[in-house]
Every structure is written in C-alpha cells, then in structure tokens.
Copies of this chain bind each other. A is one copy, B any other.
Amino acid sequence: MIRFESDYLEGAHPKILEALQRTNFEQTPGYGTDVYCESARAKIRAEAGAPNAGVHFLSGGTQANLTACAAFLKPWQGAICADTGHIAVHESGSVEATGHKALTLPNTNGKIYARQIRAYCAAHYASDTQEHTVQPGMVYISQPTEYGTLYTLSELKEISAACREYGLKLFVDGARLIYALACAENDVTLSALAEYTDAFYIGGTKAGALLGEALVINDPALDKDFRYMLKQRGGMLAKGRLLGIQFDTLFTDGLYKEIGAHAIGLAGEIRDALIAKGVRFAVPSPTNQLFPVFDARVLKALSEKYSLSFWEDAGNGESVMRICTSWATRSEDVQSLIRDLNAVL
C-alpha cells in the first residue's frame, strides 16, 4: 500500500535523525534553554528578518493553537476564523476548553477576507448590547489553509490592516507553512508574516520533523511571560533540545526549502496529470494537498494499491479525496500513481 493520505506518515527527514544521533550524549539544560534551541531561534529570526521576535517550540499544532489563543485573548474575547478553520472544527473544542469561542465566518476555499472581518467587527461595535456577545479579539487564519489554498500578500496586508483597526491580534497557523513558502504562487514570505502578523508558527510535524512547531511571536507584549503559558498548557518539553535540534536542522542550509520544493514539485506532477485527464478539483490548491473529485469506479481501482484520504461527499456518487505529498514522498510512488491514474481515468 502506497499512502498519500497525509503528510505525517513517516518519521523524520534523515538529516534530523542524524542530528539527534550526533548530539545524543551531550548534556544540555532542559525546557528549551539549551544551545540547539537558541541556535534554531537565531536562524528562524534571521530567516524571518525579525531579530527581536520571540520563538517558542511546541509539540504540535493543536498545542500551539490552544496555547496561543489562551495566551493572547482576553477572557471575554473570541477568535474570528473561517468556518473551516482547524480550531473551529478539528481540535475537539480545544480553544473553547481554554474559555474562548471560535467566531466563524463563511469561508471561500478555506479563506476569509478583510471585508468580512471588518463587517463582523463593525456590527459588533454598532450594537448597544455588544457586551452580550463575544468580543472579537483575534483573527486566526491558516497559511496554507485547511484546503491547501494560499492567502496573497495583498490579502494578508488587508487582514492585518483590519485587525489593527479593530484591535485584533492576527495569528497564523502555519502547520504546513513550508509548503506554502515553496509555491511559485506564493508571495507571503516569512518576513511578511513577521511584519503583518502578531504571531505565526512554522510547522515541523508535517515538514520532516518527528514533531514540533516553531511559534514566532512578533509582538513583544504577547511574548512576555509566554513561557508560563507554554509550561501551564503542557507544551514545554523537559528535553526541549528535541525540538531545538530539529528546527535547527530544518533551518540549516535551507533544508526546509528543499523539503518544501520536493513536495510541491511532486504535487505539481500529480495535479498536472489530473488536469490533463479533466479531473475536477473541489478546491484549486497550489500546495501539497490536492482535492480531486473521483467517482466510485476510480476509487475502487486506486484502492488496491493506494491509500488516499476521504475528504467529503461530492454528491452523485462522487467523493472529494485528499492526496498529500511531503518531504518523504518518493518520486517513483508518484510516477506509479500517475500511471495508474492515467490507466483508470
């Protein structure tokens, strides 16, 4: 069985295992204060052109999202997000468990727009019983989105401007950020994220690390005391070096770019093959997740050899499926898939 169902199917990029092996018997202080964490922080700050940003390492995306929401929001505030936002649908109510409501706006291919945010806030503050409803305190977006689509720089700037107008923090979930960064279509750089958001994170789990996300906090007021939250929410690893070594490796000699380019290249080959065959996509995603619509016959034919991920029902006996590539996807498996797709389509 060749699996394309997600981008977290394998262990870690060999260079990461190598680094863990190499440093294994060094003795380092705990809780993210070791030299590898420091080195990784310095490299991330340099890459993002944000010399003063706080950089914290967390074990996973839900952990990062819930800790950020808990830390950044006031107790009467909620987080505006797309109704497809990961925090709204796929984190078991983790944000609510920190006491905050996810304030959902209708998505367009996984995205929300500045005008929606402005309209929501304007309506909130126009009400003379505004305190009976949750005050918007943050905008949460994902880059790429849960549907693999990308915000443009101009969209991000507009959202950022809307946030500043209404006193909202802007927080970007970058669980798959390195795949966004590797897209030709993308014009939102790490520097742009550092400039236009209050905080964002760079996912490691789906990008070749065993686990881990690097949270970059651009607003010093939000960064102050954040380590208390890290510890309180269970996100501070005793052996923090495990995360430091991995991000240090990802940010050495452009490894994260290489990984991104690899996955995006292979996704492109599959996308082109599907387009050539006239396959419809539920969402036009330029990143490492593809959402083709297949009928039962195609699914059956593929299912003997490939594992894809069922995304949602598309009606008429058709299904939206998800195909992912990653740092670990092998070119020969992609070629095999394309051959078999061509045969069955």
Residues of A within 8 A of B (CB): 1-3, 5-6, 8-12, 14, 17, 20-21, 23-31, 58-63, 66-67, 70-71, 74-76, 78, 89-94, 96-102, 129, 131-135, 205-206, 210-211, 225, 227-239, 241-242, 328
Contact = CB atoms under 8 A, between A and B. Distances in A.
B66 A234 contact: yes
Query: Which among A27, A135, A210, A236 has the highest number of chain B CB atoms within 10 Å?
Result: A27
Contact of A239 (B71, B100, B205): B205
A100 B91 contact: no
Contacts of A11: 20, 23-26, 239, 241-242
Contacts of A210: 20, 210, 239, 242
Copies in the complex: 4
Contact of A25 (B10, B89, B234): B10
Contacts of A231: 62, 91-92, 94, 131-132
Contact of A76 (B14, B225, B234, B235): B225
Contact of A238 (B31, B206, B234, B241): B206
Contacts of A211: 59, 237-239, 242
Contact of A89 (B94, B133, B205): B133
A76 B3 contact: no
A97 B134 CA distance: 10
A118 to B, nearest CB: 18
Contacts of A135: 225, 228
Contact of A24 (B12, B74, B241): B12
Contacts of A58: 234
Contacts of A63: 234-235
A300 B68 CA distance: 42
